[in-house]
């Protein structure tokens, strides 16, 4: 069955370190998204991609970067982790915006 997976599921890192969260989907979807979810804010869009070599900034992109070298993967990199980036991160993919987005299981990141 097609699926979308994130790794790691849990990560603790120190302030200032570079961290990469992986997202892999086998739906062959062109659209992929990264969100963070915080209490009181809901899901906020970090970056998104329409397809290979395409990346776009979302609502809260500062301190984050993504790259899209193939259809299946959209890794999210925190260039220099900050405590404010402690959050639950969700990756999602969709065929188009008139169909549902499928979410990964989430990654709980703690920056200490």
In terms of Cβ atoms closer than 10 Å to its own Cβ (0-12, 13-18, 19+), residue 92 is: buried
Among 15, 41, 79, 110, binds another protein (CB under 8 A): 41
Closest distance to another protein from the beta carbon of 40 (Å): 7
CA separation for the pair 54, 42 (Å, rounded): 25
Answer yes or no: are the C-beta atoms of 16 and 69 closer than 8 Å.
no
| Site membership for another protein, residue 48 (CB under 8 A) | yes
Q: Which stretch binds another protein (CB under 8 A): 18-26, 67-75, 79-87, 95-103?
A: 95-103
| Site membership for another protein, residue 5 (CB under 8 A) | no
| Site membership for another protein, residue 87 (CB under 8 A) | no
Answer yes or no: are the C-beta atoms of 49 and 68 closer than 8 Å.
yes
Closest distance to another protein from the beta carbon of 17 (Å): 25
């Amino acid at each position: 069955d097609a699926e979308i997976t994130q790794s790691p599921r849990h990560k603790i890192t120190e302030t200032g370190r570079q961290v990469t969260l992986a997202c892999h989907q086998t739906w062959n979807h062109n659209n992929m998204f990264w969100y963070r979810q915080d209490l009181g804010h809901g899901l906020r869009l970090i970056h998104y991609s329409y397809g290979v070599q395409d990346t776009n900034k979302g609502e809260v992109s500062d301190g984050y970067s993504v790259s899209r070298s193939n259809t299946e993967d959209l890794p999210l990199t925190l260039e220099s982790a900050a405590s404010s980036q402690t959050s639950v991160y969700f990756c999602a993919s969709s065929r188009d915006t008139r169909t549902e987005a499928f979410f990964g299981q989430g990654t709980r990141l703690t920056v200490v």
